[in-house]
């Protein structure tokens, strides 16, 4: 359900290689402050003028398109300012999806934001339920204890193992494929 992909990364030299790869693949990349991700998003919104922003983070490389579509569908149906599958977590940490109305994000940017709110982009929205309408997306099975995000070297090793085992056979593998693989290989399971 995504219309366009834009990678909002920093102007820090450590992101130069990423920027080159994205441009070579004809993926839109916009660069801004390393420490002010909210302003990076604001610049992308000003340029591309989306009605809704879908936020997928680089530390979640196992993104499941069906989960992304579910969050988008629920966001559209609810007409909420902010919709996510992280408000009440039932998905593994690492399948995070957030949808934000551009108008809500503009309202957020007019508020006095803390450094943490500028760094974590949507924190200022979901911590203000009195100002913004929120919609939580959950699934019947609770897999909230599973850790599929990349913050540590062990996390990266796990993701590489998953891609190494699943991608060649099915490049469109999803949450169910990973769960099935982990049931057969429980030693690889990672939990929070």
pTM assigned to the model: 0.94
* pLDDT value, residue 192: 72
C-alpha 142/C-alpha 138 separation (Å) is 8
C-alpha 108/C-alpha 125 separation (Å) is 7
C-alpha 89/C-alpha 69 separation (Å) is 17
* pLDDT value, residue 191: 86
Pairing of strands 98-101, 52-55: antiparallel
* pLDDT value, residue 136: 98
List phi, psi (to 5°) of 145: -85, -10
| Residue 181 scores a pLDDT above 90 | yes
pLDDT digits (tens, 9 = 90+) for 138-176: 999 999 999 999 999 999 999 999 999 999 999 999 999
Q: What is the share, in percent, of the chain residues with pLDDT greater than 90?
A: 98
Lowest average pLDDT, out of 69-73, 114-118, 159-163, 187-191, goes to 187-191
| Angle between helix 153-166 and 175-184 (nearest 10) | 100
* pLDDT value, residue 164: 97
| Residue 177 scores a pLDDT above 80 | yes
C-alpha 33/C-alpha 95 separation (Å) is 25
45-56 average pLDDT score: 97
pLDDT digits (tens, 9 = 90+) for 68-106: 999 999 999 999 999 999 999 999 999 999 999 999 999
């Amino acid at each position: 359900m995504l219309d366009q992909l834009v990678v909002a990364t920093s102007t820090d030299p450590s992101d130069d290689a990423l920027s080159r790869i994205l441009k070579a693949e004809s993926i839109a990349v916009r660069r801004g402050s390393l420490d002010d991700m909210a302003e990076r998003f604001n610049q992308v919104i000003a340029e591309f003028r989306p009605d809704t922003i879908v936020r997928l983070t680089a530390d979640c490389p196992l993104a499941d398109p069906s989960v992304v579509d579910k969050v988008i569908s629920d966001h559209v149906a609810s007409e909420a300012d902010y919709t996510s599958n992280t408000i009440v977590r039932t998905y593994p940490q690492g399948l995070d999806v957030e949808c934000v109305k551009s108008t809500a994000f503009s309202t957020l940017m007019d508020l006095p934001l803390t450094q943490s709110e500028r760094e974590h982009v949507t924190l200022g929205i979901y911590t203000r339920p009195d100002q913004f309408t929120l919609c939580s997306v959950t699934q019947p099975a609770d897999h909230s204890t599973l850790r599929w995000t990349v913050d540590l070297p062990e996390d990266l090793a796990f993701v590489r193992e998953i891609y190494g085992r699943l991608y060649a056979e099915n490049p469109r593998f999803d949450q169910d494929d990973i769960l099935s693989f982990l049931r057969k290989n429980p030693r690889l399971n990672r939990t929070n």
